[in-house]
Amino acid sequence: MEFALSEDQRMLQDSLSGFLKDAAPLDTIRKIATGDKAAADALVTGLDDFGLSGLHVAEDHGGLGLGLLDACLVQEALGYAIAPSRFMATTVTAHALRHGGEAHLPAIVSGEMRIGLALTELSSRRDGAGVTVETGRLTGTSLLALSAAESTHMLVADENGGLHIAETPDNVAMQTIDRTRVFSEVRFAGEKSELSLQPDDEVLAVARLLTAADTLGAAQAMIDKAVAYAAERQQFGRVIGSFQAVKHMCAEMAARLEPSRALIWHAAHALDTGEPEGLVMATLAKSHLAEAGTFIARTSTEVHGGMGFTDLVGLHYWFKRIAVNRQLFGSPEQCRMDAARLQGWLETA
């Protein structure tokens, strides 16, 4: 049995990568990172025109009807380009609405409803934060919400794991080391839940899987940059890529990353086909990519030497994206604990 991408899937990823190469070069990412709203809006508009908002929405509701494997390929390309995008929030929400919330999907596809993601309660809780629901109204604060700043509605998790669609309330930007994306603190003060859904373990699994795919793309970019730099940087009259130590560093990065790609593909395929192991595999993919990505970010910077710390090369944008992804929706340690619980190895807290 051959488990590989179809021609259509390769074309999807290649065409998106080509678009991002032109639309999101490092100079544009620098502008976005320093708060250039025009540059960010132009990129987001271009991605919307690409049709990403409907990728994981069924054709009956105006979408493309593609699966999570296709979504992971898109997120990998976005991670490679460290591009800001509403794609993760839109895809996770579309998955959450697949049973019982289909009426909202056409508005998401058309862009009339722009979705943010406030799912912190599903993976961690901090003092002073948390969202509760009473008589259909949301109260409390959600931290590290994705795509909230420009959204019209949010997919919100309450403290009991329930999911809600509500209009986006007041929110303020949270400063993180990753300036390629905007995270927000969202404050609910009695906003009405337009739609309430029962707890669904797949929603967190999909968010974790897409985060892993984003890290996969960013880590691949760092490997490619390290290999290209080693092939042109000279010391003692030789390119540094000819030195055995540098060869070993590049080879070890590639060896760490390549199995990760198969892990993500398998997890996405399992969720797409409803296999019971999908939840576990998605959780383990997030855990593994967090640690493999951290190793690659560090090693790629070492291959660049002192240049790796400069803004001229810009490695720090990929490094910081990987670092934030490591903790987003659960640290590697927490993900492994959750995987153990899903398999019945630990008692449920």
Residues 213 and 121 in one domain: no
Residues 315 and 212 in one domain: yes
Residues 260 and 240 in one domain: yes
Residues 298 and 331 in one domain: yes
Within 10 angstroms of residue 200's Cβ, the number of other Cβ atoms is: 19
What is the block-wise mean pLDDT of the chain (349 residues), using blocks of 10 residues? Answer: 81 95 95 92 89 91 94 97 95 92 92 93 82 93 92 93 93 92 93 92 96 98 95 85 90 94 95 94 97 97 91 93 96 94 80
Tell me how many domains the chain contains: 3
Which pLDDT score is estimated for 99? 82
User: Cα(38)–Cα(26) distance, rounded to whole angstroms?
Assistant: 16
Residues 34 and 158 in one domain: no
Residues 45 and 127 in one domain: no
Last residue within a domain, chosen from 86, 111, 136: 111
Residues 151 and 268 in one domain: no
Residues 146 and 222 in one domain: no
Nearest to residue 170, comparing CAs of 132, 135, 142? 142
Last residue within a domain, chosen from 155, 171, 199: 199
User: Cα(94)–Cα(54) distance, rounded to whole angstroms?
Assistant: 9
In a domain, 97, yes or no: yes
User: Cα(78)–Cα(217) distance, rounded to whole angstroms?
Assistant: 7
Give Cα 73 distance to the centre of its chain: 11
Backbone φ, ψ for residue 251 (5° rounding): -65, -40
**Containing structural domain, residue 184:** 114-199
User: Cα(155)–Cα(310) distance, rounded to whole angstroms?
Assistant: 38
Residues 185 and 249 in one domain: no
Residues 225 and 168 in one domain: no
Last residue within a domain, chosen from 111, 138, 171: 111
With a CB cutoff of 8 Å and minimum separation 6, the contacts of 245 are none
Which pLDDT score is estimated for 146? 94
Which pLDDT score is estimated for 81? 97
CATH of the domain at 59: 1.10.540.10
User: Cα(285)–Cα(220) distance, rounded to whole angstroms?
Assistant: 16
Write out the two tokens for 117: 């993601």
In a domain, 282, yes or no: yes
CATH of the domain at 246: 1.20.140.10
| Ordered DSSP codes for 228-260 | HHHHH-EETTEEGGGSHHHHHHHHHHHHHHHHH
In a domain, 241, yes or no: yes
In a domain, 348, yes or no: no
Which residue type does 27 have? D
Residues 48 and 8 in one domain: yes
Within 10 angstroms of residue 202's Cβ, the number of other Cβ atoms is: 18
In a domain, 349, yes or no: no
Question: What string of H, E and C letters represents the secondary structure of 51-91?
Answer: CHHHCCCCHHHCCCCCCHHHHHHHHHHHHHCCCCCCHHHHH
pTM for the model stands at: 0.95
Contact 118, 159 (CB under 8 A): no
Judged by DSSP in three states, 146 sits in: strand
User: Cα(224)–Cα(281) distance, rounded to whole angstroms?
Assistant: 27
Which pLDDT score is estimated for 237? 81
Which pLDDT score is estimated for 2? 63
Judged by DSSP in three states, 167 sits in: strand
In a domain, 246, yes or no: yes
